[in-house]
Structure 1
């Protein structure tokens, strides 16, 4: 009787262990979505209207693979003249294990503000999460080598190899959340020719899915077409929808 009890206990332990191992190896796919509509209107010395929308879909596969796909569109007028019409689409598939990350990147961009008809980016490189937790809070740095092809509105083209350093900060506390991404991308042949991009979003969540958000974005590009601005700053207020 005692021997049978020991056999039964051992069998239960083996079964539970196998189930736990199986759960850890679960071949699952998760899809997360976030979308934002925002705008800005000012009048006085300069009448300005700005509309922006951004969307993000992240595919999570198993325990170590993810593939965020993000896209944004910005439309802006100053004194009823079209100044901004910006398209941006990129994906950064990655592998992670512990704090280590390895990223790939593919990007596409169009910018009326900077005179860009088409810009394509491809690259890859490592990253490291200094902090991350189950709530999605994270502080991480990545460093990628990218190859960039730009086709300008004046018919000229430019091919550049860049180093792309990214700092990502994601933090949440109760109903507040902060997401910030900063890129520094110098030309590998001339470090004085660089691009800097920074975007921060502060959100106040009033339901599990909806939030009011304020977004600050800044871009600087050392080399642009003659007559085009080298930098641009936008502050917008809008509504964000996201799934878990």
Structure 2
């Protein structure tokens, strides 16, 4: 009798320990943060100082929902005169299942360099991850429809509908991480009116949370107030901190 009971106990014990894992629902909430400080100083032909900082917080809920919020600020002077003072804030909540993604977007922007007093964006659209793994390596494309209202520093304004195509590439090898994001955003009513932006960051990671970074940014916008620069390129060196 005792031997028979012992056999049943040995069979049931693994099941009892497995029940909490089986009953656990994928409803966990994770919060991830990353922050970056970078700068540039040159003298000689052109005296230039540039400071940039970017921060992002991502809320992950369960297995299929995410809500990243990102913000950046850039401040730059040339020959001791203010040239660049850029603000950017956006959120892109998304749903994913397998390779499929669906994004929403809300954004706010100010740009002294391009004469933008304020810009607001709202939109939504699908995306597809061609490759993604547990190391964070990824190749993904998304295509969103945007409604955009821009108020310029000269008092003019305009509201347009845009198509926003994004290519995102992330790759890591040992202590090196490369991430690159490219946007192409034409006006749906006039494809000669478009905007292109590109952000690439190469990070040398010393610890799982701390890295030294080199960042390349490029923006081009062909319809801005007269006298303002249509494009801008920055190369900066800095440090980054992130949580897991």
- Report the counterpart of residue 63 of structure 1 in structure 2: 63
- Report the counterpart of residue 22 of structure 1 in structure 2: 23
For residues 157-206 of structure 1, the C-alpha deviation after alignment (integer angstroms, 9 at most, x for no partner) is: 11010000001111111110011110000000011110000000000011
- Report the counterpart of residue 114 of structure 1 in structure 2: 114
Paired residue secondary structure (1:208): coil
For residues 87-146 of structure 1, the C-alpha deviation after alignment (integer angstroms, 9 at most, x for no partner) is: 000000000111110000000000000000000000000000001111111111000001
Pair 1:50 & 2:50 matched? yes
How far has the Cα of 1:148 moved from its partner? 0.2
Give structure 2 stretches of 5+ with no counterpart.
none
Paired residue secondary structure (1:9): helix
- Measured in 2, the distance between the counterparts of 1:94 and 1:122 equals 14
Q: Normalising by the residue count of structure 1, what TM-score does the alignment of the two structures yield? A: 0.94
**Within 5 A, what are the aligned runs for 1:89-168?**
89-168=89-168
Which of 8, 11, 31 is residue 9 of structure 1 equivalent to? Answer: 11
- Measured in 1, the distance between the counterparts of 2:28 and 2:75 equals 38
How far has the Cα of 1:22 moved from its partner? 3.2
- Report the counterpart of residue 241 of structure 2 in structure 1: 241
How far has the Cα of 1:41 moved from its partner? 0.8
- Measured in 2, the distance between the counterparts of 1:151 and 1:76 equals 22
Paired residue secondary structure (1:75): strand
Give structure 1 stretches of 5+ with no counterpart.
none
How far has the Cα of 1:3 moved from its partner? 8.0
- Measured in 1, the distance between the counterparts of 2:4 and 2:166 equals 61
How far has the Cα of 1:209 moved from its partner? 1.3
How far has the Cα of 1:12 moved from its partner? 4.5
For residues 18-55 of structure 1, the C-alpha deviation after alignment (integer angstroms, 9 at most, x for no partner) is: 444434x2311111111010000111111111000000
**Size of the alignment, in residue pairs?**
242
- Measured in 1, the distance between the counterparts of 2:230 and 2:4 equals 80
How far has the Cα of 1:210 moved from its partner? 1.0
- Report the counterpart of residue 84 of structure 1 in structure 2: 84
RMSD, matched Cα: 1.7
How far has the Cα of 1:15 moved from its partner? 6.5
Paired residue secondary structure (1:49): strand
Paired residue secondary structure (2:185): strand
Paired residue secondary structure (1:45): coil
- Report the counterpart of residue 175 of structure 1 in structure 2: 175
- Measured in 2, the distance between the counterparts of 1:136 and 1:21 equals 27
- Report the counterpart of residue 186 of structure 2 in structure 1: 186
Poorly superposed stretches of 4+, deviation over 2 Å: 1-16, 18-23
